[in-house]
């Protein structure tokens, strides 16, 4: 039996701000239980729902020295889906509704968390063969493992994996503060270790000291070796490329299932979508106050409204996107300028644009089940989950060829009748617009071809079980 410990700052169903929580909470369920004992450890935030906190069981507590402070560490556990979750309890650091705050507070908070996790291991009776660390918040764990914890025989031989979910976020703060906080010797803050461009960098420390690096798609693993995507760490990524691999994330096929989804009024599968999917469209049009017409091309967007997601491209040609033969449904919040753009067009074209500037899981499911196409023109996208969800629901993705979007959406080829969606290569508004127009043309004028694209998309398997097999191979290798 191999013991694996997932360490992260968030996990469903306890705390979620993004895709990281889905990975940490969903992936461990799919490992072969006969060969792998996979457990998860996250902070115990005040913001975790009361009904979940009430089911947690006390395991142990102790006091930890962090720099000049002595801090209480409580450890609780919770069994879910046959899997054990642990929680590090400390109200000084985790007494908030939200996992992240000001970066200078987070720097100290996650130094505490990383040290507390390792210190707790001998007390909870679980010695992992591999600690699987996720993103910069866990970046000090591979460093600590090679440092003070080496003096204890319990920790010798424990391997570490660092998974990059988004290289843009690295945990950077000034050297002196991090030296004081982390309790590491000055020698660790050299340019070949934790120092980067005059500051200390948690993620860099994790990447330097871990045994293996993974990221969340094969294309992103290649992209981050280049200066454009490498966020100033491309030199290090290239130096460690021998132990770097990309494994695409999955989605929960039970939660995202058009046959059983409680959020949508009409259920369907690959056999019945031609008849049932338009009923969802009509019902959603009515709910949103759009013109009720199941023949009208409906384009969906579910995203954070930020530059990274390609919203500047949409802003540039939105008048042309909202043509008379198209309806646009947007769900998400983010930068004010983009919120205003969508609100303005919903005011200008109330029968064909719906701007929902909030987040609702139910609305997201309805968009996947009702729209004809789904737009993701990201500047960069390490993995992306929405395109997989839209494929699952028979909604044709239109994406830019980057990161996980390139790995999961096969562009339509009209000559060989292949492909599961539409894609464009350059980060260019008119290239995106032409791709939308081409998709719209196929929808209106080649309906049989359009339905075949949906057939191929719905036949794809992006469930977690595929990703889990690749991680299992990696664990065996390490």
Across the chain, which has 478 residues, the per-10-residue mean pLDDT values are 97 89 92 96 96 96 88 96 95 92 92 97 96 98 94 95 96 93 92 95 98 97 97 97 96 93 97 97 97 96 94 97 95 95 97 95 96 98 96 98 98 96 98 98 97 97 94 96
* Residue-level pLDDT at 69: 80
Q: Do the beta carbons of residue 44 and residue 76 sit within 8 Å?
A: yes
Token pair belonging to 159: 């391997």
SS (H, E, C) 200-258: EEHHHHHHHHCCEEEECCHHHHHHCCCCCCCCCCHHHHHHCHHHEEECCCCECCCCCCC
Chain-centre distance of CA 167, in angstroms? 12
In terms of pTM, does the model score above 0.85?
A: yes
Q: Do the beta carbons of residue 254 and residue 442 sit within 8 Å?
A: no
Does 273-461 carry CATH code 3.40.50.2000?
yes
Tell me the residue length of the chain. 478
Q: What DSSP state is assigned to residue 184?
A: -
Residues 349, 344: Cα–Cα separation, whole Å: 9
Q: What are φ and ψ of residue 253, in 5° steps?
A: -75, -10
Residues 30, 33: Cα–Cα separation, whole Å: 8
Residues 173, 206: Cα–Cα separation, whole Å: 15
User: Is the dihedral angle over the CA atoms 164, 468, 249, 51 positive or is it negative?
Assistant: negative
Q: What are φ and ψ of residue 71, in 5° steps?
A: -120, 145
Q: Do the beta carbons of residue 40 and residue 77 sit within 8 Å?
A: no
Residues 141, 159: Cα–Cα separation, whole Å: 11
Tell me the helices (H) and strands (E) count for the chain, helix number first.
18, 18
Three-state DSSP class for 447?
Answer: helix
Per domain, the residue ranges of the chain are 2-250+465-477, 273-461
Residues 166, 229: Cα–Cα separation, whole Å: 10
Domains 2-250+465-477 and 273-461 share a fold: yes
* Residue-level pLDDT at 385: 92
What is the CATH architecture of 2-250+465-477?
3-Layer(aba) Sandwich (3.40)
Chain-centre distance of CA 348, in angstroms? 34
Residues 230, 141: Cα–Cα separation, whole Å: 22
Peptide bond into 13 cis (omega under 30): yes
Residues 467, 274: Cα–Cα separation, whole Å: 30
Residues 353, 318: Cα–Cα separation, whole Å: 11
Q: Do the beta carbons of residue 299 and residue 436 sit within 8 Å?
A: yes
């Amino acid at each position: 039996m191999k013991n694996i410990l997932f360490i992260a700052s968030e996990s469903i169903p306890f705390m979620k701000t993004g895709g990281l929580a889905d990975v940490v909470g969903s992936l461990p369920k799919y490992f072969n239980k006969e060969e792998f004992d996979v457990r998860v450890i996250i902070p115990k935030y005040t913001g975790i729902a009361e009904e979940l906190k009430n089911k947690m069981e006390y395991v142990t507590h102790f006091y930890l020295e962090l720099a000049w402070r002595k801090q209480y560490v409580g450890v609780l556990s919770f069994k879910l889906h046959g899997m054990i979750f642990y929680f590090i309890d400390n109200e000084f650091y985790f007494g908030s509704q939200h996992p992240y705050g000001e970066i200078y507070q987070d720097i100290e908070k996650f130094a505490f968390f990383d040290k507390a996790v390792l210190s707790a291991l001998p007390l909870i009776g679980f010695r992992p063969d591999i600690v699987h660390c996720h993103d910069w918040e866990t970046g000090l764990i591979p460093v600590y493992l090679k440092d003070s914890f080496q003096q204890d025989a319990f920790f010798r031989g424990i391997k570490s994996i660092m998974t990059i979910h988004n290289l843009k976020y690295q945990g950077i703060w000034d050297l002196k503060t991090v030296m004081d906080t982390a309790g590491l010797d000055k020698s660790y803050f050299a340019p070949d270790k934790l120092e980067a461009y005059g500051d200390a960098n948690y993620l860099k420390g994790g990447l330097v000291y871990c045994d293996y690096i993974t990221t969340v798609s094969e294309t992103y693993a290649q992209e981050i070796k280049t200066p454009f995507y490498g966020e100033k760490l491309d030199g290090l990524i290239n130096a460690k490329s021998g132990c770097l691999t990309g494994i695409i994330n999955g989605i929960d096929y039970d939660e995202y299932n058009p046959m059983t989804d409680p959020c949508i009024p009409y259920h369907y599968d690959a056999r019945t979508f031609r008849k049932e999917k338009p009923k969802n469209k009509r019902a959603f049009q009515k709910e949103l106050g759009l013109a009720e017409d199941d023949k009208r091309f409906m384009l969906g967007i579910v995203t954070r409204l930020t530059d990274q997601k390609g919203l500047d491209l949409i802003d540039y040609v939105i008048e042309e996107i909202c043509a008379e033969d198209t309806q646009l449904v947007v769900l998400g919040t983010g930068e004010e300028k983009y919120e205003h753009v969508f609100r303005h067009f919903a005011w200008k074209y109330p029968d064909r644009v719906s701007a929902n500037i909030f987040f609702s899981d139910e609305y997201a499911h309805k968009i996947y089940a009702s729209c004809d196409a789904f737009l993701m023109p990201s500047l960069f996208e390490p993995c992306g989950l929405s395109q997989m969800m839209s494929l699952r629901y028979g909604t044709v993705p239109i994406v830019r060829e980057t990161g996980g979007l390139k790995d999961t959406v096969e562009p339509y080829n009209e000559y060989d009748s292949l492909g599961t969606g539409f894609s464009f290569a350059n980060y260019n508004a008119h290239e995106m617009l032409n791709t939308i127009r081409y998709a719209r043309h196929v929808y209106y004028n080649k309906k049989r071809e359009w339905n075949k694209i949906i057939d191929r998309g719905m036949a794809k398997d992006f469930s977690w079980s595929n990703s889990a097999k690749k991680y299992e191979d990696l664990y065996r290798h390490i």
